[in-house]
Amino acid sequence: MGTRWKKFRIIVSFTAFFLGITLLLMNVIPILCLTAEMDFQAGDYQKTEVFADYMSERLGTLIGAAVGGENWDGSSYGFSDTDTYSYEGDVSSEAGSFDFSDGIRSSFGGAEENTVDLSEVTSSEEEASDSSNGTESYRDSYLKDLEGDSNVLFAVMYQGKLLSTNLEGLTAQKAEKGNMPDFASYLPEEVSYNFTLCYNAKGDGKVEIIKDGTPLDVYGNGIYGRNSHWQVPGYENFEAEGDAREAVVFLAAAAEPKLYIESYGQGTIQRGGTLYNMYEDQVEQSGMFQLRIYAACVGVLLLLLLPILHLRDSLGEAKKWIGCQLGELWIEVKALIFWGLPVLLMFVGFLTGSFWSLFSQGTGLTLCFWLFYFGFLDRTYNKGRQRSLLRPFRESLQTRDLELPLQKRLVRRQWLAFAPCLLLLAVLVWFFLLLWDAMYWDAVVLLLLLLLVCAVLALGFSLEYLKRNRRMAEDIGLLTDRIAEVRAGELSDYLELPEDTDLREAAENLNEISQGMEKALEERTKSERMKVELVANVSHDLKTPLTSIVSYIDLLEQEKNLPEHVKDYIRILGEKSERLKNMVQDVFEVSKAASGQLPVHLEELDFGKLLRQTLADMNIQIEKSELTLRTTIPEEPVLIQADGQRLYRVFQNLIQNALQYSLKGSRVYLTLTTQDGKACASVKNISAAELDTNTDFTERFVRGDTSRSDGGNGLGLSIAKSFTEACGGELQVKAEADLFVASVTFPVKN
């Protein structure tokens, strides 16, 4: 239950986190973009720039049509920007748009230079109208066209006469009554026209706009400029002049424009599309905007849910889990997806020019964010233990590299570094040849030539450098080989490098080192030999008188009729001479062992058996002592490489030691164990005398109890140690409180 609940929490937390971030990222940027956009007017299309331009142009065209008379060619009275927004497929809106190259220019009655554009644009319509009704003038057909569009109701008057209108009920008679008719009163009741524009109704050449019953400030500070919304006459720097003063135009736009489709000949004709599209766009955009705000709010809520429901720990777990899962992927694949894909996306965006739209829509940003985020997760949780597709390849390359001798490795690495340079140079040359063909001599080519010359020079220098390095690598190889030789003990050789090489000094130093070592070694061997010789001579010289002593004591022992106390003296003499004899022998052996001159015959033997034999051999001694011997020796063979005779002496000494110095009535433990390929035999006993734990018992002539002389000569452990080491083993002696432990370790042979 607990784990399931935990799992559930983990899933919920990550889902909330993922959805929250996604919703937020997907929508925040578009919301910001839309808010920053001038034309987003939350559903009211009449507030947009496009609408203002459209109406301004319509006004201009109608004034133009009024002034132009029967021969009007479609030119507009007004001006327009080069960037005028246009709706495709709606010819009427195009009719008035001109491409003025700069600033404000007013044209009256149509400027010659502009007619070309217009005729091109409208030619198709002209032809259409010509074919259907050849007698109609262009103006009439244009105005008739406009009349069909009920999205914009209009009326045009010129010199007090009504030229054209689609306002129902407004007739020429009503307009001719001398005074200006109230155009607004002719607007139909059933459809809402909440925007009216009236030009020159008061004869001042100015435009009045009433939207939703309130007049708009059309002219601002009265000077037309970049920020002026309405491109209509009446500004100080753009006044209606001449004939235009005699035209009166009324325009009304529907609050909710519709499409008007009429049958026209064999097909249909669409009218009112421009405003309809503007309106629908605004409605759609505002709907999207609302949706995006809601989505962003949901995202924020989801993110807030995490701390509220205490899911942050679970989120951490989720991240960790994802990180671990990502660890299973090869790092190359991950790098491609998490880092390569976003970069590719941006690159493609830049190339195709859709970068901005991709990111303003939020999708690109969100995608990039998640890719980067997963990449980050992967880095956090899998640092240093990435699976790699290339690693085996790289490793095999490395191992192969290591198999080569040092000098070859060095040269190879140099070439590896040099090869890309060579490649670069080749590309450069190729590029140059390509340009050479074109014979296109200018600064770039000259620069390239210079670069090429430099590159060739650099190549030459680096080749020289490579050559030198190669020689150096060879010298390094020689040097390392020589070092290996010295290490192997070949000291008498001599490494001579040519005088001009960098490593000559190092080689000379090495030679001196090996010579010094040779000398030191020689001296040491000599002194060791002398020491052994000395000890051998001394013991030899001791042996002869000792033989006499032993012999005469023996003779004395055979003497009869001696008083009891004399016999006692003789017994003591016998004991001491025996001890002296042993000591002379031991000293000789110990000195030989210490100088490494002890001959050993290594053979494979059973450690356990050797211990059992030793115990059997010393059975009498052990039984005589007041100690109990406890042994733990495995039955199965424990094979080691050693000299049996010497190892027997080691354990003889150790056991003797234990028998001699143990507390009366205590137990002596002999155990043999094998662990980690090592066999360890240890003798443990409780010392009768108090031990000084700082003493090294294996030192020659050292005894646990320094005050007493009780038959031991202090050489037992020393011999044991020397013999063990001569056989390739290790003897360790430890004393803790009164517990004395001697352990002999040998590597087990398989």
Partner 1 sequence: MNECVLVVDDDREIVKAIALLLEKEGYQVLKAYDGLSAVMKIRERKNLPIIVLSAKSEETDKILGLSMGADDYVAKPFSPQELVARVKSHLRRYTILGDIHAESMDDGIQNGRLCYRISERTLYADGEPVKLTATETKIVELLIRNPGRIFPAEEIYSRVWGEEAFSAENTVMVHIRRIREKIELNPKKPEYLKVVWGIGYKMEKV
Binding residues for partner 1, rule: CB under 8 A, are 540-541, 543-552, 554-555, 558, 581, 584-585, 588, 599, 603, 605-607, 609-610, 612-617, 619, 640, 642, 644-645, 647-648
Answer for the pair 337, 304: CB distance below 8 angstroms, yes or no: no
CA angle 27, 30, 34 (to 5 degrees): 135
Task: Supply the minimum distance, in Å, between the C-beta of residue 579 and partner 1.
Answer: 12
Long-range contacts of 502-511 (CB under 8 A, 24+ apart): 502/472, 502/475, 503/472, 503/475, 503/476, 503/479, 506/479, 507/475, 507/478, 507/479, 507/482, 510/479, 510/482, 510/483, 510/486
In the bound state with partner 1, the residue whose beta carbon lies nearer, of 482 and 649, is: 649
Task: Supply the minimum distance, in Å, between the C-beta of residue 701 and partner 1.
Answer: 21
In the bound state with partner 1, the residue whose beta carbon lies nearer, of 352 and 645, is: 645
- DSSP assigned state of 340: I
CA–CA dist 603, 727 (Å, integer): 10
Strand, coil or helix: what is 481? helix
Task: Supply the minimum distance, in Å, between the C-beta of residue 581 and partner 1.
Answer: 5
Integer CA distances (angstroms), 210 to 169, 207, 221, 349, 736, in order: 21, 10, 18, 44, 111
Task: Supply the minimum distance, in Å, between the C-beta of residue 657 and partner 1.
Answer: 18
In the bound state with partner 1, the residue whose beta carbon lies nearer, of 567 and 601, is: 601
Task: Supply the minimum distance, in Å, between the C-beta of residue 613 and partner 1.
Answer: 6
In the bound state with partner 1, the residue whose beta carbon lies nearer, of 470 and 581, is: 581
CA–CA dist 654, 683 (Å, integer): 7
Residue 501's Cβ-count burial label (10 Å; 0-12, 13-18, 19+) is: middle
Residue 289, phi then psi, degrees to nearest 5: -60, -45
In the bound state with partner 1, the residue whose beta carbon lies nearer, of 224 and 723, is: 723
Block residue for tokens 């020159």: 200
Which amino acid would we find at residue 239? Answer: E
In the bound state with partner 1, the residue whose beta carbon lies nearer, of 10 and 640, is: 640
Strand, coil or helix: what is 557? helix
Strand, coil or helix: what is 58? helix
Task: Supply the minimum distance, in Å, between the C-beta of residue 679 and partner 1.
Answer: 11
In the bound state with partner 1, the residue whose beta carbon lies nearer, of 511 and 585, is: 585
C-alpha atoms less than 13 angstroms from C-alpha of 223 in its C-beta half-sphere: 3
Extended beta strands in 7-138, E state: none
In the bound state with partner 1, the residue whose beta carbon lies nearer, of 479 and 594, is: 594
Task: Supply the minimum distance, in Å, between the C-beta of residue 661 and partner 1.
Answer: 23
Task: Supply the minimum distance, in Å, between the C-beta of residue 716 and partner 1.
Answer: 18
Which amino acid would we find at residue 59? Answer: L
Task: Supply the minimum distance, in Å, between the C-beta of residue 714 and partner 1.
Answer: 21
In the bound state with partner 1, the residue whose beta carbon lies nearer, of 377 and 638, is: 638
In the bound state with partner 1, the residue whose beta carbon lies nearer, of 36 and 616, is: 616
In the bound state with partner 1, the residue whose beta carbon lies nearer, of 282 and 614, is: 614
CA–CA dist 437, 71 (Å, integer): 61
CA–CA dist 249, 228 (Å, integer): 21
In the bound state with partner 1, the residue whose beta carbon lies nearer, of 392 and 599, is: 599
Please name which of 469, 464, 433, 462 lies closest in space to residue 448, comparing C-alpha atoms: 433
Task: Supply the minimum distance, in Å, between the C-beta of residue 683 and partner 1.
Answer: 17
CA–CA dist 85, 74 (Å, integer): 19
Which amino acid would we find at residue 435? Answer: L
Please name which of 67, 75, 78 lies closest in space to residue 230, comparing C-alpha atoms: 78
Task: Supply the minimum distance, in Å, between the C-beta of residue 726 and partner 1.
Answer: 15
CB atoms closer than 10 angstroms to residue 654: 26
Task: Supply the minimum distance, in Å, between the C-beta of residue 549 and partner 1.
Answer: 8
Task: Supply the minimum distance, in Å, between the C-beta of residue 332 and partner 1.
Answer: 59
The string of DSSP codes covering 264-303 is ETTEEEEESHHHHHHHHHHHHHHHHHHHHHHHHHHHHHHH
CA–CA dist 581, 597 (Å, integer): 22
Q: How many helices (H) and strands (E) does the chain have?
A: 21, 15
In the bound state with partner 1, the residue whose beta carbon lies nearer, of 387 and 749, is: 749
Task: Supply the minimum distance, in Å, between the C-beta of residue 666 and partner 1.
Answer: 22
In the bound state with partner 1, the residue whose beta carbon lies nearer, of 71 and 558, is: 558
